[in-house]
Amino acid sequence: MPSKKTTTHPSQRALGLAIRTFREEAGYSQESFARHAGLDRSYYGAVERGVFNLTFESLLRIAAGLNVGLGELCTRADEKARELHREAA
């Protein structure tokens, strides 16, 4: 039987790290932010770990909850992706 191990795409990991950074800067715990954004806590935790490929609706909820624009969120994710790439090299 094939393994059900989940692989995380680097871009999903970078986006999760960017979201985590904004959340921490805003002073939220994972649980309090998930509640604030109207998301399930375990789902939101998986988002930060880069496990899920987000829907656009979830991405909008997260950005609105963090009070940041999508462009700013994407810029931070790009920075995180570059950091991950350097660490892997």
Whole-number pLDDT of residue 7: 58
Whole-number pLDDT of residue 6: 54
Q: Distance of CA 7 to CAs 21, 25, 30, 33, Å?
A: 22, 28, 22, 25
Closest residue by Cα to residue 83 from 8, 20, 23, 18 = 18
Q: What span, in angstroms and rounded, lies between the C-alpha atoms of 29 and 55? A: 22
Domains of the chain are 10-88 (1.10.260.40)
Below-50 pLDDT ranges, the chain: 1-5
Please check whether residue 21 is in contact with residue 59, taking contact to mean a CB–CB distance below 8 angstroms: no
Amino acid letter for position 61: R
Whole-number pLDDT of residue 5: 45
- Tens digits of residue pLDDT in 55-78: 999 999 999 999 999 999 999 999
